[in-house]
Amino acid sequence: MTYTIATIIGARPQFIKEAPVALALRKDFKEMIIHTGQHYDRNMSRVFFEDMAIPEPDYNLNIGSGPHGEQTGRMLAGIEDVLIKEKPDYVLVYGDTNSTIAGALAAVKLQIPVGHIEAGLRSFNRSMPEEINRIATDRIADHLFCPTEHAVSLLSKEGMTKNAFLTGDVMYDACLHFLPLSDKKSDIVHTLGLTGKEYLLLTIHRPSNTDDPGTFLSILEAVAESPWPVVFPRHPRTKMVMENAEIQQIISKTKHLKIIEPVGFLDMLQLENHALKILTDSGGVQKEAFFLGKPCITLRTETEWVETVKAGYNMITGADPEKISRAIRSFEPSHERKNFYGDGHAAEKITEHIKKVLIS
């Protein structure tokens, strides 16, 4: 009997996480991809399907942007319709976005078993929408696939032990799998006129940094003092806030800030791999910096990826301009790098687990 797994994705990091999982899953199962349409610009969605050869979505719900409740509610209704029609045997959701909680909630209400990939992460900051999505998804999912031992231990403290499984991180799988292809295909460092290890890479998209112009300006102020060029693939949320006149004025004076459109994964891996340091508020980018051995300056007041900080590769600066400036000039990792994120076969381990559940 062929079992069908419905994969629910919708935002940029979920496409990246799905790529290695699709390769593993499709050896044993029929996979059906439901794209919620949370991200929809070509360079926030399609480019990943092309770069990483992710199979075409079977459904695109085209939900688009909107306030949290409305966006999540429309996803819930759309996903429910598809699940009722297709009756998959299992549903997979990824990470902590509104697409994650909508997918998990639609499935559990229909009594379809749900696996949560990247379970057990906590920032302990409930003002982050992602924190609410993670807590809620972990509570209702049937199987919690954890990227790290720390995630397993956090779930255990919340009483979730029997259904939590250490698999390793599918983003590590993706990084290992796609780095050689990126080396071969991407010429972005050269095209942008950059020299390896002589530029910084910056990404910003968290509402805590974008929604308050003062906070955003503090980060820009520090970046403006960087002795090296700063490449900034700009998320669409960030582009919107940068239309502010004061911000435009600072940018016009910051000659070495290279603002570019968001890039595909192969280009992003090159930008990360050749950067001197990486500044980010992204979860995924913090980890990739670690995988690639790059010092990471995290523009948040806390992180879920605590191993990277303990290992001495990630410095938490928040939006404090002095701390950021100091880190840009002098932060150097001081320890050997251990591998906290598995062996590059997390996707296979997840597939094996689903096989056991469905076939037993």
Closer residue to ligand UDP in complex, CB, 150/206: 206
262 contact choice in ligand UD1, ligand UDP, none (CB below 5 to 8 Å, kind-dependent):
ligand UDP
What b-and-e string marks burial along 276-302, b requiring 16 or more CB atoms within 10 Å of the CB? Answer: bbbbbbbbbbbbbbbbbebbbbbbbee
Judged by CB under 6 A, the stretch of 157-165, 185-193, 261-269, 309-317 that binds ligand UDP is 261-269
16 contact choice in ligand UD1, ligand UDP, none (CB below 5 to 8 Å, kind-dependent):
ligand UDP
What is the C-alpha separation between 101 and 133, in angstroms, rounded?
6
User: Is residue 180 classed exposed, middle or buried when 0-12, 13-18 and 19+ CB atoms within 10 A define those classes?
Assistant: exposed
Closer residue to ligand UD1 in complex, CB, 96/348: 96
What is the C-alpha separation between 296 and 292, in angstroms, rounded?
10
83 contact choice in ligand UD1, ligand UDP, none (CB below 5 to 8 Å, kind-dependent):
none
Interface residue list for ligand UD1 (CB under 6 A): 11-13, 38-41, 44, 65, 96-98, 129-130, 205, 236-237, 240
Q: What is the DSSP letter of 353?
A: H
From edge to edge, which strands make up the β-sheet containing 59-60?
Answer: 59-60, 30-35, 4-9, 90-94, 114-117, 143-146, 164-166
Q: Note if 205 is an active site residue.
A: yes
Q: Which of 216, 265, 290, 313 binds ligand UDP (CB under 6 A)?
A: 265
99 binds ligand UDP (CB under 6 A): no
Contact in structure between 248 and 240 (CB atoms under 8 Å): no
Distances (CA, A) of 2 to 90, 97, 358: 12, 30, 10
Site string for ligand UDP, 205-244 (x = CB under 6 A): x---------------------------x-----------
Residue of 39, 143, 205, 274 marked active site:
205
**Smallest separation, CB 215 to ligand UD1 (Å):** 15
Q: Which residues form the catalytic set?
A: 205
